[in-house]
Structure 1
Amino acid sequence: MGMAGHSIGGASTSWTMVKDRRVRAGVNMDGTSFVPVPEQGLKRPFMLMGAGDEHEPGGKDTTWGRDWARMTGWKRWITLEGGDHGSFTDYAMMTKQSARELEVTRAYVAAFMDRHLRGDDEQLLDGPSETYPEVKFWK
């Protein structure tokens, strides 16, 4: 099974994976990680998906950098340029301006789950995309 969550739901994903081996892959969408990944690390696939520059390396939320260093399995850290905390919710259904953010979220979360739970070769996760130029990849 995979787990993806937004805000506090995203923050709880890595902790849940540490405690429950049944969760084979996880996504944190714009959630501050209040509970650190243990020093022994997290070996299963994980994707950090943040809004704007707050969740970029060196940004306001330093918990992502701390946990990133402890993730030893397949991992991706991406941010949505121009996004905000609500970018990863279904609020986008209510405004045309945010519809693009919903499209980006669906595409990347689906590609992540397809790759790690179904074994599909999802190249969208391999680096920047012409289809989604607003998504930045970090290492």
Structure 2
Amino acid sequence: MKKRAFLIGLFVFLIGGLVGSAMAFADAEAIRERMTSRLPAILDLKARGVIGENSQGFLEFVGQAMSGKDVVDAENKDRLAVYEAIGKDNGRTARDVGERRAIQNAADVAKAGDWLKSADGKWYQK
């Protein structure tokens, strides 16, 4: 649990650093603060199996339950802004950045029991 919290914190920190060059500092800081403040709710939704990570680097509902939709929508909006900024800085599309982040998340951040969605649209638990 400590390793996962550290890795998620590191991800948020790194995203903030990468976004800083492509976005105004205030915007990057606001995104980082919002993402950090949502993290406990996201971890809770993941722990309950309500949401998982899809292969494009976004949160998605695993089943019919839509608990926390406002949190998921807000997080995905901020992730898209981050992916777009990183992509712009690196000559990539937001989709490329999101897919790379999804691969890293599945390998390094997701814990046993987390739901992940493969590129072919099938959910599986790590």
Q: What's the TM-score, normalizing by structure 2?
A: 0.30
Higher relative contact order (CA 8 A, sep 6+): 2
| Greater strand content | 1
| Greater helix content | 2
Q: What's the TM-score, normalizing by structure 1?
A: 0.28
